[in-house]
Amino acid sequence: MIYHPRDRFRCKNSGIIQGKLLFFLLAIGILSLLFYFLYKPSTSVVSPIPQKDMFSFLLPIFSRKKNPDELKKKIIEAIGTTIPEYSVMVKDLKNDFSIDMNANTIFTGASVNKLPILGTLYYLAQKGDIDLDRQITIQPEDIQDYGTGQIRYDQPGTMYSVKTLSRLMMQKSDNTAAYILGRQVIGIPKIQQLITSWGMTQTDMENNKTSNTDIALLMEKIYREKVANKALTLEMLSFLKDGTIEDRIPALLPKETVVYHKTGNGVGFLHDVGIVVGPKTTYYIGMFTSGVPDEAEAVRILATISRIVYDFMK
């Protein structure tokens, strides 16, 4: 048999062609799968709780690592000397990024402490200990004739379901609804015992004290369906949207952003805590203040901080 060098060239060239063809076919297969998953029509029910992105594992590879000190600096510059005492906490719910600025400082919770009432109520409802459809008749001694809420203007004898009282407590920040749910339907000692077991060791329901750390824990627990099942979680979250006061966390954010939050007001202090869901980010933000001399200016600053955080987190 006579060996020709050209035969070796043909074999080598044939191997290269086969390799390229295999790579080409593999690439087409991968692109086809990506196209299928990205563009196939969805038949699922739309939920305000975003589903996990199938490509989220790639985010740490392609995204720039955020510097917490950079965000803290921007927030400090926004606050200036206007707010003497404050706490700001941000926690990304998709990765481990967070900032903690006085997060363990204890503040008067005001209406922010309606959140533990809501969480406890729906936890007990899921267990079957509380009927959300139970009708409550408002008595004259139930009326809390101060601050926010509409029930105090009703005639005695008006009836509300526990679920409706929950909605009014959150969306209208109704103090009478909170009083009835906290004192009569559940009981403050039971609320305290439960939230302490959840790790909220800095919250005192009887004296209306809490911290950013505790509220962040509770908000994330609610959002991640660790308090109640999906249906009850969606109901709670619906009560935390489109409330009476929308001048802080949501005020300067894009319209497509969803914010589940609760404000708190009092003489010299303003709070807002919530979870922000944007097209590319989901995070907790909590802002507590005290000793505020100019409430209108403080509201403007809190809205500005919220936008600063959003731009940084997206």
Number of neighbours of residue 242 by Cβ within 10 angstroms: 10
Residue 183 has pLDDT above 50, yes or no: yes
87: which 2 tokens? Answer: 């706490």
Mean pLDDT of the 196-207 span: 99
Return the DSSP state at 185.
I
18 assigned to some structural domain: no
pLDDT at residue 12, rounded to an integer: 47
Residue 35 has pLDDT above 60, yes or no: no
Distance CA(283)–CA(312), nearest Å, equals: 11
Distance CA(211)–CA(108), nearest Å, equals: 9
160 assigned to some structural domain: yes
pLDDT at residue 11, rounded to an integer: 46
144 assigned to some structural domain: yes
214 band by pLDDT with thresholds 50, 70 and 90: very high
Distance CA(144)–CA(157), nearest Å, equals: 15
Mean pLDDT of the 149-163 span: 96
38 assigned to some structural domain: no
The residue ranges of DSSP E strands in 134-281, in sequence order, are 135-137, 159-161, 209-210, 258-266, 269-277
Q: What percent of the chain has pLDDT over 70?
A: 80
Q: Domain containing 87 — which CATH number?
A: 3.40.710.10
Mean pLDDT of the 198-214 span: 99
Residue 125 has pLDDT above 70, yes or no: yes
3 assigned to some structural domain: no
Mean pLDDT of the 84-93 span: 98
Residue 213 has pLDDT above 60, yes or no: yes
Mean pLDDT rounded to a whole number for the chain: 88
Mean pLDDT of the 269-298 span: 98
Q: Which domain holds residue 162?
A: 56-313
pLDDT at residue 65, rounded to an integer: 84
Residue 269 has pLDDT above 50, yes or no: yes
pLDDT tens figures, 98-119:
999 999 999 999 999 999 999 9
Lowest mean pLDDT among 21-30, 93-102, 172-181, 221-230: 21-30
pLDDT at residue 225, rounded to an integer: 98
Mean pLDDT of the 258-278 span: 98
pLDDT at residue 67, rounded to an integer: 96
How many separate domains does the chain show? Answer: 1
Compute CA distances 173 → 154, 196, 220, whole Å.
Answer: 16, 23, 21
Distance CA(300)–CA(78), nearest Å, equals: 10
What would you measure as the largest C-alpha separation in the chain, in angstroms?
Answer: 112
pTM of the model: 0.81
